[in-house]
Amino acid sequence: MKRNLLSFLFFGIALMSMAQSPTVVKFQGAKPTISDFVSAYLAPDTDDEEGMECGEGVAWLQQAWQNHRKGLKQEEGVTVTLDVKNGFALFESKSSYDGTTHHIVVEMCYWNCADQKHKIFAFNESCFANGKYSPGQFDGLILFRYNNASKTMETIADDGVSKFYDSLAQGVIPSFSLPRSGKDITATLWFPSGMKQQQTLKWNGNGFSK
């Protein structure tokens, strides 16, 4: 088996997203902001498939986003950071039990494509236990292409991320960090030996490459 387990998880999440209809990004003004992309991604799941994802994986994100928009107090350990100027959103959940500190990090951001007709929206989730990467069921980096004309976004499979997963040696697991400033994605490779190494996925105007 050439692909590691996380690669299969990545493709599984991508296929689930692609199975649904294109998602409409609602906004006011000339163009959507990161708030509009977050709202579209976290839209509650309905029978007509307006929501992009459902279940426990996003329930806490939906609640945190609702609390943020209404100015309500977040649940214990949950924080939301929204940087509209830089097109970046960060959700964090921290908790401790059984002697282990758990930290869930969810990032979302977007890029303007070189053709000026599309944008790339990214959703990234990473789970850590006592500071070490501990991927859960919903971990991974998923990219979507937003069409300026149709005001909809769909999962994309030719963004360079799938090729990056395929290039990894067996047993090596990557976590990702989306840019709050700049355009490149940082990948941290976690080796079975405990060693870790960083690589950069460079923005090329339409996707990413090593």
pTM over 0.75: yes
Torsion (CA) 73, 98, 175, 168 in degrees, nearest 10: -160
What does the block give as tokens for 173?
Answer: 């697991």
Instruction: Name the residue among 129, 161, 127, 157 with its Cα closest to residue 145.
Output: 157
Quote the pLDDT of residue 137: 85
Those residues with Cβ within 8 angstroms of residue 177's Cβ, 6 or more apart along the chain or in another chain: 107, 124, 126, 185, 186, 187, 188
- At residue 99 the predicted structure's pLDDT band, cuts being 50, 70 and 90, is very high
Structural domain contains residue 35: yes
Residues of the domain holding 115: 5-158
Could you tell me what percent of the chain has a pLDDT over 70? 84
List pLDDT tens digits, range 108-120: 999 999 999 999 9
176 pLDDT more than 50: yes
User: Average of pLDDT values for 137-164?
Assistant: 89
One-letter amino acid of 70: K
Is 22 in contact with 154 (CB distance < 8 Å)?
A: yes
Structural domain contains residue 11: yes
Structural domain contains residue 209: no
Structural domain contains residue 190: no
198, containing H or E segment: strand 196-203
List pLDDT tens digits, range 30-88: 999 999 999 999 997 644 343 444 456 789 999 999 999 999 999 999 999 999 999 99
- At residue 100 the predicted structure's pLDDT band, cuts being 50, 70 and 90, is very high
Structural domain contains residue 154: yes
Range 53-61 contact pairs with CB under 8 angstroms and sequence separation of 24 or more? 53/16, 53/17, 57/137, 57/138, 58/138, 60/93, 61/91, 61/106
Structural domain contains residue 45: yes
Mapped onto helix, strand or coil, the DSSP state of residue 67 is: helix
Give the number of domains in the chain: 1
List pLDDT tens digits, range 101-148: 999 999 999 999 999 999 999 999 999 999 999 998 889 999 999 999
Structural domain contains residue 14: yes
Instruction: Name the residue among 106, 13, 12 with its Cα closest to residue 59.
Output: 106
Structural domain contains residue 140: yes
Is 82 in contact with 104 (CB distance < 8 Å)?
A: no
Is 13 in contact with 140 (CB distance < 8 Å)?
A: yes
Higher pLDDT, 145 or 161: 145
163 pLDDT more than 90: no
202, containing H or E segment: strand 196-203
List pLDDT tens digits, range 4-36: 444 434 444 444 444 467 999 999 999 999 999
